[in-house]
Chains A and B, each alone.
Chain A
Amino acid sequence: MQGNRLYEGQKLALKYFMVAIVLFGAQLLFGLVAAIQFLYPNFLFNILDFSIARILHINALVVWLLYAMIGAVYWLLPDEAGIEVVGVKLGNLAFYILTAAVAVVVLVYLFIQIGPGKESTIWFITEGREYIEAPRWADIGIVAVVLVFLYNVYATVMKGKHTGILVVLMADLIALAGLYLAGMFYTDNIAVDQYWWWWVVHLWVEATWEVYVAAVGGYILIKTLNANRKVVEMWLWIEVAMMFGSGILGLGHHYFWIGTPEYWWEIGALFSALEPVPLVGLFVHVLYDWGKERGKGNNIKNTPAFAWLTVETFGNFLGAGVWGFMHTLPQINLYTHGTQWPAAHGHLAFFGAYVAILIGAIYLAIQGKAGLKEMRMTKASWWAITLITVGVLIMSVSLTISAYVQTMVERGQYGGTWEGYFIAQANQWFVQGMGWRLFSGLAVVVGYGFLVYDLLTIDKKQPAEVREGAVAAA
């Protein structure tokens, strides 16, 4: 970055970030609707039923994370490669097409919601498969847009510098995009359907997205701490080895009970049990670098970005590593599968592993856009990070308590029937968990308000000495 001048690729990144933050708000809003319905089932009944609120909640989540991921790549790509993004005009066009398509899909979810039991519904309204409900036409559009993105990345790296971070990202992004194809076909066989569905869901979040995070986390470390590139890249390769080594066959922890062969018990149990190891590694690495640089008396160049990166490493370890491990052995999963357990783990893991680091990347971009050499936390940054992090943590703990009730009462005691399900749902501890989830969700929403305010104003709220540094640099 030369002073205040941004690459065109970085300007495109800012657009992606903007949509991402808007969709994050939509995600929280529909999460609240669904959470209210757990306690007051008549809320919006027949208008915006739980299923629709939930689809909007989790689809907005996945889509905004993908937007922010693409944005972060467009941000670091010209910086790392040392040249302008190749084909950035095409990239801009793809951005507008994608955003228009997302808007249409959302409107259809909201106002058409469901269709008759025919192929045409799968093509134009919904595919009805959790997380990837988007209708077939949108799938094809997404693939086309992603191909443009991949072209931009590959062409730019070929022409510019090949840093280790970029090489890992190139390999990872192609796998990430390719996996989406596994979720794009229809079959009458629900077991086969779910088998491939997990290729998208698991091999995204527990393999390709984790490696993505390791690469972008490395970049943030270099930017905020001046961390030694060689050491960062060595760790990156270690992370890749451990994450893919455990995560690819760790897929087996979803193949215990869906009509799959028995050998998956053992493969799924033991490979996924190792998945937390690289997450501990990542955590230790960041703390180590932090201590080292602080020891030398160096300032952190962007404290909000670094704070979010710290939340990421700890949240990833806790949400994915610890909460994931707690229900990953088949002996336990037999009773936790299909309860609030995966929801407790899903919230903390998605937040810890992905939300936190992508917010960090957005702060990095804001610093770059303002041309500041150094950027410090404001009061609003502090409130945002505290309310959102503590809110999600309380939410996950509440869901875990509700999940315990379900495991013990519905599944252990009543063998998982319709009646047993509702006996557990009415249990006071279960209901209290749902109440705390709603309450902590509200805290997250307030934190989101602070976040938006902060992202819009932080560059103007910097102390005088920091702003003078910017003038001197320009």
Chain B
Amino acid sequence: MIEPCHDVVCSFWSLLNEGPMTLTIILHTLIVLPMVWIYFDEKKKMERGDIPNE
């Protein structure tokens, strides 16, 4: 399933691109996962009640 790199230049990004959809999965995770942390951080603040009224 994972094939050796045949790109013209095998850079760091081509290596992440080796398996099926690995590159996009990694990038999407990197972008979306921290939102989970933001969510719980906001929740904590909300429960503590230190959200300023906007």
Q: List A residues at the B interface (Cβ < 8 Å).
A: 245, 249, 261-263, 266-267, 269-271
What's the Cα separation between A279 and B24 when bound, in Å?
21
A270 near B13 with CB under 8 A, answer: no
What's the Cα separation between A269 and B28 when bound, in Å?
13
What's the Cα separation between A263 and B11 when bound, in Å?
10
B28 near A270 with CB under 8 A, answer: yes
Is B31 in the interface zone, CB < 8 Å from A?
yes
Q: Mark B7-39, 1 if CB is under 8 A from A, else 0.
A: 111010110110001011001100100000000
A266 near B17 with CB under 8 A, answer: yes
Closest to B15 in A: A263
B13 near A249 with CB under 8 A, answer: no
Give 22 A-B contacts (CB < 8 Å), ordered by A residue: A245-B31, A249-B27, A261-B7, A261-B8, A261-B11, A261-B13, A261-B14, A262-B7, A262-B8, A262-B14, A262-B17, A263-B7, A263-B13, A263-B14, A263-B17, A266-B24, A267-B27, A269-B24, A270-B24, A270-B28, A271-B24, A271-B27
Known: A262-B8, A267-B27. 16 other contacts (CB 8 A): A249-B27, A261-B7, A261-B8, A261-B9, A261-B13, A261-B14, A263-B13, A263-B16, A263-B17, A263-B23, A266-B17, A266-B23, A267-B23, A270-B21, A271-B24, A271-B27
Closest to A230 in B: B54
What's the Cα separation between A262 and B7 when bound, in Å?
7
B11 near A266 with CB under 8 A, answer: no
Chief secondary structure at chain B's binding surface: helix
With A245-B31, A261-B13, A261-B14 in contact, do A266 and B21 touch (Cβ < 8 Å)?
yes
What's the Cα separation between A245 and B13 when bound, in Å?
19
Q: Which residues of B contact A269 (CB under 8 A)?
A: 24
Closest to A245 in B: B31
Kindly identify which residue among A261, A262, A267 contacts B24, using a CB–CB cutoff of 8 Å. Answer: A267
What's the Cα separation between A261 and B23 when bound, in Å?
13
Give the Cβ gap from B13 to chain A, nearest Cβ, in Å: 5
What's the Cα separation between A269 and B27 when bound, in Å?
13
Closest to B16 in A: A263
Closest to B54 in A: A230
What's the Cα separation between A267 and B16 when bound, in Å?
11
Give the Cβ gap from B14 to chain A, nearest Cβ, in Å: 6
Interface centre among B11, B14, B24 (most CB of A within 10 A): B24
What's the Cα separation between A266 and B20 when bound, in Å?
9
Closest 5 CB pairs of A and B: A270-B24, A263-B17, A263-B13, A262-B7, A266-B23
What's the Cα separation between A258 and B27 when bound, in Å?
23
Closest to B31 in A: A245
Q: Which residues of B contact A271 (CB under 8 A)?
A: 24, 27
Q: Which residues of A contact B9 (CB under 8 A)?
A: 261
Q: Which residues of B contact A261 (CB under 8 A)?
A: 7-9, 11, 13-14
Q: Which residues of A contact B24 (CB under 8 A)?
A: 266-267, 269-271
What's the Cα separation between A249 and B30 when bound, in Å?
13
What's the Cα separation between A267 and B13 when bound, in Å?
10
Interface centre among A245, A262, A269, A270 (most CB of B within 10 A): A262
Give the Cβ gap from A252 to chain B, nearest Cβ, in Å: 10
Interface centre among A249, A266, A267, A269 (most CB of B within 10 A): A266
Interface centre among A245, A249, A263 (most CB of B within 10 A): A263
Q: Which residues of B contact A270 (CB under 8 A)?
A: 21, 24, 28
What's the Cα separation between A284 and B28 when bound, in Å?
25
What's the Cα separation between A99 and B27 when bound, in Å?
44
What's the Cα separation between A263 and B6 when bound, in Å?
11
Q: Which residues of A contact B13 (CB under 8 A)?
A: 261, 263
Q: Which residues of A contact B28 (CB under 8 A)?
A: 270
Closest to A265 in B: B17
What's the Cα separation between A271 and B23 when bound, in Å?
11
Q: Which residues of B contact A262 (CB under 8 A)?
A: 7-8, 14, 17
What's the Cα separation between A263 and B9 when bound, in Å?
11
